[in-house]
Structure 1
Amino acid sequence: MFNKRQIGNTNLNVTELGFGAATLGNLYHVMSDENAQNSIAKAMELGLNQFDTAPYYGFGLSERRVGDALREYDSSDYIISTKVGRILEPCAKAEDKYGFCSPMPFEPKYDYSYDGIMRSFEHSLQRLGLSKIDILYMHDIGRVTHGDDHDRLFKIAMEGGYKAMDELRSQGLVSAIGLGVNEYEVCEQAMDHGYFDCFLLAGRYTLLEQKALESFLPRCLKENSSIVLGGPYNSGILATGVKRQGVTPNYNYEPASREIISLVSKFEDVCANYNVPLAAAALQFPLAHPSVVCVIPGLSSASRVETTVAQMQHVIPSEFWSELKTNGLLSLDAPVPSGK
């Protein structure tokens, strides 16, 4: 059984390992409904209680599958999060788009307005077929995502979208609100406009990246906003490593640069010295920071759930973390697991 940590000022307590359900939207390859159901059943069996999905993941497919699986359990046994910021509009032909091999005949359109957030929330409840949504994240707002259109969309999001999310929270229709993004800078920007219980931050506080320690994570501690750490493998490179034959490592959703490959190779050398799986170190490292309550890797099968649980429970000696810092591979300011 996993330890649980509290989300911000809420009454939500999440297990330190959660279930990222983008894969259940047929991300990069087709998954059967049965495999999706079995993956969630195995996660529940092994004690995970947090499941994260989004309308964007398979254009509704992930939400449908997550809801179908969790409907078999008591609602008090799980915490479900989904996202707003896109409306799924019907399209004439379902295609493989944005990496999702989904049969769902919809096209996602950004909408961060008050009405757009309310519509998205209602649509998600219908797709999930569940009685509740615990955590609602505003999805993929930020300059990296929207480029020159960021300022316009951010204004709409804070004036309209945040108002809608805050109303849903104050009415008890959701227990927590936050952002689900790939860049911490927009989280800091949003914190100037309102209170967010938590942030689902993908890939920006990992073995490879600790710049968020400079200002964002300290601010989260000060304001009691929790971090749910998505993408702990930085798009896979910290799961596969770089030394396997025939494996093309990815970092930030694209082939890794030589610099990143060289850096990961150095991590693998230290891992080999201590017989520590790289993936285990990647999962356990972020949780040492007091603002991080959970890591949620993408889990694509029941066997992957079992493997990931084993990696979370792998005992890593304190000397391992010390050597990473001595070799300049981790920030000296980064908290590390206590070790054994």
Structure 2
Amino acid sequence: MRISLPSLGLGGAPLGNMFHAVSEATADATLQAAWDAGFRYYDVSPHYGAGLAEQRFGRLLSTKPRDEYVLSTKVGRLLEPSDRPENAKPFVEELPNKRVVDYSADGARRSLEDSLSRMGVDRIDLVFIHDVSEDQWGPQWRDYFAEAMAGAAKALTQLRDEGVIRGWGLGVNKVEPCRLALEQSDPDVFLLAGRYSLLDHREALETLFPTCQARDVGVVVGGPFNSGVLAGGGHFEYDRIPHDIQARKSRLDALAERFGVDLRSAALHFCLANPAVISVIPGTANPERPQQYKALYKSPVSDAFWRALVDEGLLHDDVPLPG
């Protein structure tokens, strides 16, 4: 049976000091605003700020009834105390921890125990094997992937079968590892960041989502704004915006203005229109954003806008459209 999740969740990377430092007061206010706005699915990772995001999320979630929210985190990097922060790009002013790559079964179990301790909660619902992909490790990614399938994947499958967690999958920025995981293991859900959006959706649509639907594997879409560019930010894929992406964004902006559409709202609706997608998780470190995201999620987008995107070649003819 396919995993069920709230359609709109909160991504945790910005609260790990992604791109810029966030004060503890602002982090607490952001998370409280998310709870007050009705967010009940939260995704974090030890990687985000070297434990900082988990620590911050835990300050809120450890005070809430555990059955009232869904929590996911990730495995693949263990944290060990260090004399200084690593400040691994794109994070700044991290906690003083050193990341140790470990996709083994024992590493996955230890990572989960550490996450539970950092957050002060008694269980984690979903676990994603983090960043077993070429964009993170270069050609060596296949070795890490093999280690993960032989180690972490088997440990998480056992924990799922024992009822310790609800399910597991991969948390990646690339489509290919998800396809391979479906061939080699039995995942329940993928967290796919930036690969199903108004700017980039063809590969996932054609090569991954049909198999996910056939196998009842859900997809959580992370990075629906592509690291912020679709929300007016200055980053794409955690870096500067390439010229071709900026040109495509400008065409989207022009159509959004023409039809009176907020492009952020369109980005959320687009992701959720695909039947393979079970949740979309924009991130923020701004206390004003959670309520805005809720309003954008509830705001309708005209059919004429979607038809115009198809007519202009910005969406493919076979992409599922809202409504």
TM-score by length of 1: 0.91
2:258 is aligned with what amino acid?
N
Is 1:325 paired with 2:318?
A: no
Is 1:224 paired with 2:216?
A: yes
Which structure 2 residues correspond to residues 309-324 of structure 1 after superposition, within 5 A?
309-324=294-309
Identity of aligned residues (%): 38
Which structure 2 residues correspond to residues 186-265 of structure 1 after superposition, within 5 A?
186-211=177-202, 212-240=204-232, 249-265=234-250
1:326 is aligned with what amino acid?
D
In 2, the alpha carbon distance for the partners of 1:150 and 1:28 equals 25
Cα offset, 1:29, TM superposition = 1.9
1:297 is aligned with what amino acid?
P
Residue 288 of structure 2: SS of its match in structure 1? helix
Structure 1: which 5+ runs fail to align? 1-7, 241-246
Moved more, 57-66 or 92-101: 92-101
Is 1:9 paired with 2:11?
A: no
Cα offset, 1:229, TM superposition = 0.2
In 1, the alpha carbon distance for the partners of 2:6 and 2:35 equals 11
Cα offset, 1:37, TM superposition = 2.0
Cα offset, 1:97, TM superposition = 3.0
Cα offset, 1:95, TM superposition = 4.7
Q: Go from structure 1 to structure 2 and tell me whether the alpha carbon gap of 1:103 and 1:319 turns closer, same or farther (over 3 Å shift).
A: closer
Cα offset, 1:103, TM superposition = 4.5
2:60 is aligned with what amino acid?
A
Q: Go from structure 1 to structure 2 and tell me whether the alpha carbon gap of 1:94 and 1:151 turns closer, same or farther (over 3 Å shift).
A: closer
Check whether the contact 1:236–1:250 (CA below 8 A) recurs between aligned residues.
yes
- Residue 175 of structure 2 is matched in structure 1 by 184
In 2, the alpha carbon distance for the partners of 1:143 and 1:29 equals 25
Check whether the contact 1:59–1:102 (CA below 8 A) recurs between aligned residues.
no
Check whether the contact 1:229–1:292 (CA below 8 A) recurs between aligned residues.
yes
Is 1:158 paired with 2:158?
A: no
In 1, the alpha carbon distance for the partners of 2:312 and 2:90 equals 37
Which structure 2 residues correspond to residues 42-61 of structure 1 after superposition, within 5 A?
42-61=33-52
In 2, the alpha carbon distance for the partners of 1:125 and 1:106 equals 17
Check whether the contact 2:86–2:97 (CA below 8 A) recurs between aligned residues.
no
Check whether the contact 2:230–2:267 (CA below 8 A) recurs between aligned residues.
yes
Calculate the aligned-residue CA RMSD, in Å. Answer: 1.3
Residue 26 of structure 2: SS of its match in structure 1? helix
Moved more, 299-308 or 94-103: 94-103
- Residue 127 of structure 1 is matched in structure 2 by 118
Which structure 2 residues correspond to residues 229-308 of structure 1 after superposition, within 5 A?
229-240=221-232, 249-308=234-293
In 2, the alpha carbon distance for the partners of 1:208 and 1:63 equals 29
1:207 is aligned with what amino acid?
L
Residue 293 of structure 1: SS of its match in structure 2? strand
Moved more, 228-237 or 304-313: 304-313
2:200 is aligned with what amino acid?
E
Q: Go from structure 1 to structure 2 and tell me whether the alpha carbon gap of 1:158 and 1:103 turns closer, same or farther (over 3 Å shift).
A: closer
Check whether the contact 1:85–1:117 (CA below 8 A) recurs between aligned residues.
yes
Check whether the contact 2:85–2:94 (CA below 8 A) recurs between aligned residues.
yes
- Residue 5 of structure 1 is matched in structure 2 by none
Which structure 2 residues correspond to residues 91-102 of structure 1 after superposition, within 5 A?
91-102=82-93
Residue 170 of structure 2: SS of its match in structure 1? strand
TM-score by length of 2: 0.96
Residue 138 of structure 2: SS of its match in structure 1? helix
